[in-house]
Amino acid sequence: MFKWLDENIEKIVILVNYIVMTGIIFVEVIRRFAFGQQAAWSSTIPIYLFLWVTWIGCAYCCKTRSHLRFEEFRARLPYRGQFFCILTDHFTWIGFSILIIVFSVEQVQIAYDNFAIVQGTDDVMQWWFYLATPVGFSLIIYRVMQNLFEDIGRFQRGESMLIKANEAAD
Whole-number Å distance between alpha carbons of 27 and 145:
41
* 125: β partners: 117
Size (the chain), residues: 170
Residue 116 has pLDDT above 60, yes or no: yes
Residue ranges per structural domain of the chain: 2-169
Whole-number Å distance between alpha carbons of 110 and 137:
19
Q: Concatenated DSSP letters for 71-84?
A: HHHHHTS-HHHHHH
Residue 170 has pLDDT above 50, yes or no: no
Residue 130 has pLDDT above 50, yes or no: yes
| CA-wise closest residue to 101 among 45, 55, 54 | 55
Whole-number Å distance between alpha carbons of 132 and 49:
9
Average pLDDT over residues 120-141: 95
Average pLDDT over residues 53-59: 95
- Specify the pLDDT at position 1: 85
What's the pLDDT band for 165 if we cut at 50, 70, 90?
low
What's the pLDDT band for 166 if we cut at 50, 70, 90?
low
Whole-number Å distance between alpha carbons of 60 and 65:
8
- Which amino acid is located at 54 in the chain? T
- Specify the pLDDT at position 20: 97
- Specify the pLDDT at position 95: 97
Distances (CA, A) of 126 to 48, 57, 121: 8, 20, 10
Average pLDDT over residues 53-81: 87
What's the pLDDT band for 167 if we cut at 50, 70, 90?
low
Tell me, what DSSP letter sits at residue 161?
P
Mean pLDDT of the chain: 91
| CA-wise closest residue to 92 among 69, 72, 108, 66 | 69
| CA-wise closest residue to 62 among 35, 93, 37 | 93
Average pLDDT over residues 105-113: 96
- Specify the pLDDT at position 112: 96
